[in-house]
Structure 1
Amino acid sequence: MSTTTTVDRAFRAALYDDADATLDTGASLLAADPAADGELALRGEQFVGAAWRRGWQPADVVRMVRRELDDLHVRLVSALILKEAGQRPSPGPRWTAQLQELDPEPPRVPDRFSHATAVLELYRLLLRLPALEPLDAPGRTAAPQQPESRMLTRIRALLAKAEATDYPEEAEALSAKAQELMARHSIDEALLAARAHTEDAPGACRIGVDPPYETAKAVLLDAVATANRCRAVWHEPFGFSTVIGFEPDLEAVELLYTSLLVQATAAMTKAEAAQRKGGRKRTKTFRQSFLAAYAHRIGDRLRAAAEAQVDGSEGDLLPVLAARDVAVVDHMERMFPDTVTTRLRGVGDAAGWEQGAAAADRARVAERPRTGERPRLP
């Protein structure tokens, strides 16, 4: 029996049916034929390549595998992605950065049957990934990646200190300074592009919004995105938001959202411990309310910091920013012509809301969505 026939028979048995019995049949066929291992791996690389053609990126696939399966499958898909990536140029700097985040250590499995079972479970998932709005085109040669600017290096350092300090006032000052630098950097880039008549256009990236309390986290990301002249569209089933904006602003959103989430989680954990000492047990409701209030109030802080930079800038800035805002909205509407809004639920804990708002006041950083806006859902 040829190796191709073995793999085809295993796939026919296991990939198009969710039943465990069919999965066992396929895994048994593969486990009994070591000569089929090479063909099996090649088919996996083809599944990964098909995911790229459907608009997925490495971080998206790994995130989905982690949500639906387990660590063994994450290691398996990481190995496939890295192998497939070696066969063509990277589509861009973000793609390259995502590859660098993957764990290159090969997975360890106890026996051939277990390995074959895990591989087939992974391939089932890859086969059924739906099409997404493309961000980069695989196969396009990437422009040379520029070294990180001194400004971004300084911003990263400020946010790292804000996350590490145990003093709320210090975290507030560091985060506020980081947002000011982000806004200044964005303004400088916008004016430079306008004066040089550069054909600059908005792009997009995806940022993970992981459980638990995804809705509150999506609201926080939306607030950070809007503060930095971007728009965010939340894809709840896939665990990410697509953020649309100009490149300097996308970088700012990624940095600031990640940092604020760390700060919010730390503050929430401390506040919850104090509540437990007082005999309160509504932990889930408290956390949801805390994060929702944090997201709501942090927007006010973000907008104030960003608008202060605009108010103190040159007179020709407002038309430039207005044109960029229109370009971002147009790009979002082309990518997502149909979106709906979602509401926050489970935020009825008054203590959680009050303490989340207070934590946001301490974290102070930049803008929130207009009144009544919620994360957009495609």
Structure 2
Amino acid sequence: MSSTSSDPAGAVERALRTALYDTADAALDAGASLLAADPASDAELARRGAEFVAALWRRGWQPADLVRIVRRDLEGAHVGLVAALIRAQARDDRARGRRWAAQLAELPTGPPPSGDRFSHATAVLELYRLLLRLPGLDPLDEPGHGRGHHHRGPAAGSPADSSARMLTRIRALLAKAEATGFPEEAEALTAKAQELMARHSVDEALLDARAPAPDAPGACRIGVEPPYEQAKAVLLDAVADANHCRAVWNEPFAFSTVVGFEADLEAVELLYTSLLVQAQSAMAKAEAAQRASGRRRTKTFRQSFLAAYAHRVGTRLRAAAETQVSDDLLPVLASREVAVTAATDRMFPQTVSTRLRGVTDEAGWTEGAEAADRARVRSRPRLP
């Protein structure tokens, strides 16, 4: 028979003090037992969790970062718990910009907690243990939030409204390109998407140059998750560089921070995601062909495949970047490049280079390079 407490806050405090600052399983079990025996503590426990989430926001974390690290280090039940905490905290939170709102909208949904109260309390305490141990991250300024793009306004027919329609078209084209089984159709769809991305970036650069208060660079985080995270980080770096951005990889927390202007950050997110989908599809086909010929493919093959893909795509993107800008746009882009480099140096005064490991499979490298040559990459069009 469960007991009830006249002091839910005290019960939660005792459970947290017992379980969160001791890594032993016995301490976790003791804390979970206290919570399981006191249903009146549930609301207070959830309130404390929302406080932990708010504290992480103050230390530079964002919703997608938190979901990513919980998914990596814990289990599916914990992902559902942290998503619920983030939603609860957001109801009392301030507005934080478009990217933050998009992350909230993309939070995973799942069934309500199942099982006995002890199991549920154990999962909650395991999650809180992780949240308390997370270090601070470099805070990100969202481009256009509170400055810059904000002065243009979202009214129908405005540049902001036109930009939203453009990005919707780009996403739709890339989604079709990734889904089709016909290479010619995929190439045509992706080429069109690339043209729209290029036009979007050029239009934004020229509009910003004429604005009375030009935008400053912002930053976003893009997940770079195992397996083969090194090769994926190289691919993201190549895409960022070709789109006038800088990428800094944080291997322990499975993301890269990309610094740049808003239109270019959008292009990096869309192109990186599309190329990664194309790479995964091409790798699956290459492995099937290898198996059909009687050769067994390994993790080394896949690592070498993606490394070669990233290297070759980077070469193609850099070559395209050298010829895609007309002379009249060079001063604008040069000024923006200086601003992006300065912003990156402020955020990351110390960075180190990383060498790719495990790239030893010749067949994987060859197949990956050939797949990169087939990937849909197109230079930006010149200004008329």
Same fold (TM over 0.5): yes
- Counterpart secondary structure, 2:324: helix
In 2, distance between residues paired with 1:106 and 1:40? 19
| Pairing partner for 1:179 from 191, 194, 197 | 194
| Contiguous gaps of at least 5 residues in structure 2 | 155-159, 380-384
Greater RCO structure (CA 8 Å; 6+ sep) = 1
1:183 Cα deviation after fit: 2.3
More displaced, 160-169 or 145-154?
145-154
Kept after mapping to 2: 8 A contact 1:302/1:364: no
The equivalences for 1:142-181 within 5 A come to 146-147=160-161, 148-181=163-196
Quick one: which amino acid aligns to residue 293 of structure 2?
Answer: G
In structure 1, list runs of 5 or more residues that go unmatched.
368-378
Change (3 A) 1:305 1:161: farther
Give distance in 2, aligned partners of 1:252 and 1:42: 38
**Post-superposition CA distance 1:208-247 (Å, at most 9, x none):** 0111100001111111111110000111111110000000
> Percent identical across equivalent pairs?
72
SS at 2:247 equivalent: strand
Q: How does 1:203-282 map to 2 (within 5 A)?
A: 203-282=218-297
* Equivalent position of 2:58 in the other structure: 53
Name which of 331, 340, 357 aligns with 2:343: 331
Corresponding residue of 1:345: 357
> Counterpart of 1:319?
331
Instruction: Give the superposition deviation at 1:151.
Output: 2.7
**In 1, Cα distance between the equivalents of 2:233 and 2:85?**
30
1:376 is matched with none
**Distance change (3 Å), C-alpha of 1:229 and 1:335:** same
Inter-partner Cα distance in structure 2 for 1:141 and 1:158: 31
How far has the Cα of 1:136 moved from its partner?
4.0
Tell me the TM-score normalized by structure 2: 0.90
Q: Please show how residues 1-378 of structure 1 align to structure 2 within 5 Å.
A: 2-105=7-110, 107-136=112-141, 146-147=160-161, 148-310=163-325, 313=326, 315-365=327-377
Deviations 1:140-172 (A, max 9, x none): 879576445333233223212221222334433
Greater shift in the superposed pair: 327-336 or 171-180: 171-180
The count of residues paired between Structure 1 and Structure 2 equals: 362
Distance, in Å, in 2 between the alignment partners of 1:95 and 1:216 is 27
Q: 1:247 to 1:205 in 2, by over 3 A?
A: same
Q: 2:157 maps to what in 1? A: none
Alignment partner of 1:341: what SS? coil
Measure, in 1, the Cα distance between the counterparts of 2:213 and 2:198.
20
Most deviating of 4-13 and 24-33: 4-13
Q: TM-score, normalised by structure 1?
A: 0.91
Q: Tell me if the contact between 2:53 and 2:86 (Cα under 8 Å) persists in the aligned partners.
A: yes
Q: CA deviation at 1:283?
A: 1.6
